[in-house]
Structure 1
Amino acid sequence: MDYKCIQCGCSVKTLYLQYSPGNIRLMKCENCRAVADEYIECEIMILVIDLILHKPKAYRHLLHNVINQKTMKFQGLLWKLAIVFLLFEAHRCLILESGKGKTGSLMSFSSLVSICLKVLADVLFGNFMFLLTFFIMIKIFFHVSITISRGIDLLLILMISSYFKIFLVAMMVWEFPSSVIVIIELFCLSSNAVALKVMTESTMSRCVWTCFFAYAIKFLVTQILELMLLGQLRQGWSQISSSFLKSA
C-alpha cells in the first residue's frame, strides 16, 4: 500500500514535511492540487465520525496512510486483529444463543456442549466460508488473482472495517434485544463494501454484492451446521440414555 491522496486516490510520495517537532507542512496532491491528507492535523474523533459516516476519504487515510506496510509491523497487527475479530464473533454467537433462551444458571451439560459446538462451528467454519466466498467473489467480479500480498491486504481491510463489532461490548453492560446484532452486521457489511471500494477503486455495486454474497453464504452455512449439530447431539444423547436404561 502506497500513500494516497484522500481526495482523488492518486499516489503521493509524502504526506507532509517536518521542519521541527510540531512544525509540519501538509503536502498537496499533484493531481487534484488539494491537501493530500488533511486528517493528519485532525483530532481522532473527527476521523471516527467520518468513518461511521462511511466517507471514502476517511477510509483512504486509515487504510493507505496510517496502516502502511512500509511503516508498520504487518504480521503482528494482522494476528492481533484476527484474535480480536474471532473473540467478537464468539461473543456475538453467545448473545444470539442467550436471546434464544439457551443459556442460564440451570443449563444442562448437553445444552452446554451444544452451545460450545455451535460457537466453534460459527466462529471457525462460518468465517472460513465467509473468507472463501469473499475471495471467490473478488476473483469473479474484479478479475484479479489472489496473491499472498493481496490476500493479506484484503484480510486486513475486512477486519479493520468491521470495527462496528466493538458495539457488541456495549451489550455486556446494557440490555439490548438480540435483533441489534442484525443492525451491527448490516453496518459491518456496508463498511466492508466502502473499504473494498477504496482499496480496489472499483464500483460500489460490485463491492456491495461481493460482501453481500460472503455474508449470505456465512449465514446459510452456520444455519445448516446448527441443524446438523442439533440432530447429531439429540441422536447421540438418545443412544446414551437408552443404553443407560438398558444397563440399569
Structure 2
Amino acid sequence: MEESGRTTSEAEGTTAGFRCVQCGFPIKTLYIQYSPGNIRLMKCGNCKAVADEYIECELMILMIDLILHKPKAYRHLFYNVLGEGRANFESLLGKSILAYLVLEFYRMWALITNEIERPLSLSAVSFVMDFGKMLTIVIIGNAAFLCSLLLAARKFLNAPTGFHGWKWILLVVLVSSYFKIFLMAMMVWDFPSSVIYIIDIFVMSSNIVALKVVTDSDMARCLAVCVIAHGIKFLAGHYSAVILQTNDKMLCP
C-alpha cells in the first residue's frame, strides 16, 4: 500500500558509504524520516534484517556492545557514524592522535610510578628530565607501532574499504583503542601494574575486531598484524628506555 502525504527527509540517511551492521553489505539509506521523531528503519537488501538498529538505541547500548567486541557495533561506529561525509576526517584524525598520545603518556607514567613505587622527583630539573624521557619513549614506541601496523596491514590485509586510503586504517586503530580511557580510573583508585597490561590486551583485541570489520580480512591475518605491531611497539619502547638509562649513567658516573 502506497503511503500518501508523507514528507521524506533523507538528508541524513542517503550519504554513500553506509553499511548494514549485520552483514556489512553496502546500503544507500539507513532510514526514512517522515517527520521529526517519526522514522522508519530500512532493511538490508542482502540479509533482510534491519540495516542499523543502533540508530534508535541509547549511546550506552552501543558502548556496551563495543566493549563486548560485537562486529555490528564496530560497523555502526566506523561506517555509519564516522564514515565519509559524516565527520571532518583530518580534524578527527588529529584529535585522535593527540588523545592517544596523552593516554599513552599517562600509561607510561603510571607504569613507572607503580613499578618503582615512588613518585617522580619533585626537583624541577629532575622532573623535566623524567618528563622528557617518558615523552621520548612514548613517541618512539608509538611511531614504531603505527608504522609497523600500516606496513603489516598493507602486506597481510585487504585494501581498506573506507575512504582516505590507509589514513582510514590509522583512524580505525586509534579509535578502537578506546579501552585506554580506563587508565584514567588509576587517577582515583590504586591498581597494580598488571591492570595496565590487562587493558593493553583489551586494546589489542579491539584493534583486531576493528581491522577485521573495515578490511573484511581473516581474523588470523588481523591477529598477526596486531601482534607484530604491538610487539614492535614494546621492543622499541623497551630499547629506547635502555638507551636513555645508559646515556644517563655515562653522563652521571
Query: TM (normalized to structure 1)?
Result: 0.90
Q: Does 1:10 align with 2:18?
A: no
1:243 match = none
Change (3 A) 1:40 1:143: closer
Change (3 A) 1:114 1:231: farther
SS state at 1:149 partner: coil
1:61 match = 76
Q: CA deviation at 1:144?
A: 4.4
Q: CA deviation at 1:116?
A: 2.1
Cα distance in 2 for partners of 1:113, 1:44 equals 40
Q: How does 1:1-248 map to 2 (within 5 A)?
A: 2-101=17-116, 103-104=118-119, 111-112=126-127, 114-142=129-157, 144=159, 149-238=164-253
CA contact (8 A) 1:5 1:12 kept: yes
CA contact (8 A) 1:129 1:218 kept: yes
Cα distance in 2 for partners of 1:121, 1:211 equals 23
CA contact (8 A) 1:93 1:119 kept: yes
Q: CA deviation at 1:110?
A: 7.0
CA contact (8 A) 2:158 2:215 kept: no
Please state which structure has a larger fraction of its residues in helix. Answer: 1
Over aligned residue pairs, what C-alpha RMSD do you find?
2.0
Cα distance in 2 for partners of 1:137, 1:106 equals 40
CA contact (8 A) 2:20 2:44 kept: yes
CA contact (8 A) 1:162 1:191 kept: yes
Change (3 A) 1:235 1:141: same
Unaligned stretches of 5+ residues in structure 1: 239-248
SS state at 1:175 partner: coil
Q: CA deviation at 1:101?
A: 2.1
SS state at 1:214 partner: helix
SS state at 1:19 partner: strand
Q: CA deviation at 1:74?
A: 1.1
User: Which consecutive aligned stretches of 4+ in structure 1 deviate over 6 angstroms post-superposition?
Assistant: none
CA contact (8 A) 2:153 2:225 kept: yes
Unaligned stretches of 5+ residues in structure 2: 1-15
Q: CA deviation at 1:196?
A: 0.3
Instruction: Kindly provide the amino acid, as one letter, of the partner of residue 100 in structure 2.
Output: F
Cα distance in 2 for partners of 1:224, 1:183 equals 22
Change (3 A) 1:215 1:105: closer
1:39-91 Cα offsets, whole Å, 9 max, x none, are 10011111111101100000000000011221211111111111111100000
Cα distance in 2 for partners of 1:215, 1:50 equals 24
